[in-house]
Amino acid sequence: MKWLILALVSLHLSEGLERMILKKGKSIQENMKEKGVLEEFLKKPRVDPGLKYHLNEYNNNIVYEPITDNLNTYYFGEITVGTPPQTFRVLMDTGSSYLWVPSVYCKTRACGNHEVFNPSASSTYYGTQQTFTMAYGFGDVSVRLGYDTVRVQNIVIQNQAFGLTLYEPPYPFYYASFDGILGMAYRSLSGGLAPVTQQMVTQGQLSEPIFSFYFSRQPTVQYGGELIFGGVDNQLYVGEISWVPVTYEYYWQIGVEEVTISNKATGWCSKGCQAIVDTGTHQLTIPGQYMESFMQAVGVEPASDGELLVNCNNVQNMPTMTFVINGYQFPLPPSAYVSNYNGRCAVVVGPTYLRSLNQQPLFIFGDVFLKEYYSVFDMANNRVGFALSA
């Protein structure tokens, strides 16, 4: 599989929370293929999903959760910026902390193919001359810092810091149906700029300082899942929520005590592991030093193009992978980590060679994990909750 980082839900709540449907658009892969540039892009060196987590200088409501499926599927929600509102489709990303959208200042092909923010058309915009660059594995995005009103359904955030793009790399942004990214990690990751989620709490927009995600295992154009600001929906999960403390308040990062495959301990985390819970990454990534062991355990070998292809008829016989986190067990059956795309089955697991801040091996729990487990992000108590998705 070609590892593209970007990473890039409708039920009525009894509390009367508003809702917003995540739309599933034409995939980046399909767009690239139609334009005849997919082959060129796939020749580029694979990127490590962990590169996204290098720290840099700035490093009563329902909203739908967007997530990137590497060159296959992704989800996005709508927000508005400015007065009167200018509408953008954004990935809502727990693996970063910035909000940014394309702007009139950006002249690259990627910006020209998307909605762009015009600050002169907003009566509430406040601009600065401060610029900074956000590093992604496939290229850097440069922005100018500004402040304006941001709306997510009926949530209104005043004076929200956001980036107006100056430069976006053409691959993959030109071919993506989303416009920008709304980061939902910690303020410490964005150089002190308050993320949208923190501003929601500070400005009294949430009934509780939490947000939660549900991803449909079988998303459709009409329904992908739910992102709920200010609460949880107990119709979307089974059993109780298991709470796990955040270990480092940069990302939504948690400790992993053990990983088993077919109920056999791998020993990968004998000295401790870390995991970043990231709605902006599709795949499950495992520490690079264990990738070969994983492939042997599940019985796959990489194809010539790097994909981990398996016989669709054998998926049910593949082993279950279980994560032990804060004493709780979270199994991932093969149906979770194997994708079936038009009869072509591939293991959606890849390596990262980035280690955690304490140098422990690092996992990234992306869409593969989050489709199995409803996730709750508690900003007041710095913890993440998981429950089996309904």
Supply the residues annotated as catalytic.
93, 278
Structure tokens at 219: 């998303």
Quick check: 40 and 314 in contact, CB under 8 A?
Answer: no
DSSP-derived pairing of the beta strands 344-347 and 210-215: unpaired
Quick check: 157 and 205 in contact, CB under 8 A?
Answer: yes
Q: How far apart are CA 25 and CA 4, in angstroms?
A: 17
Structure tokens at 249: 């308040």
Compute, in degrees rounded to 10, the torsion defined by CA atoms 165, 366, 379, 151.
40
Q: How far apart are CA 90 and CA 75, in angstroms?
A: 9
Structure tokens at 367: 């869409």
DSSP codes of every residue in 126-174: EEEEEEEEEEETTEEEEEEEEEEEEEETTEEEEEEEEEEEEE--HHHHT
Which strand (E) or helix (H) includes residue 81?
strand 75-81
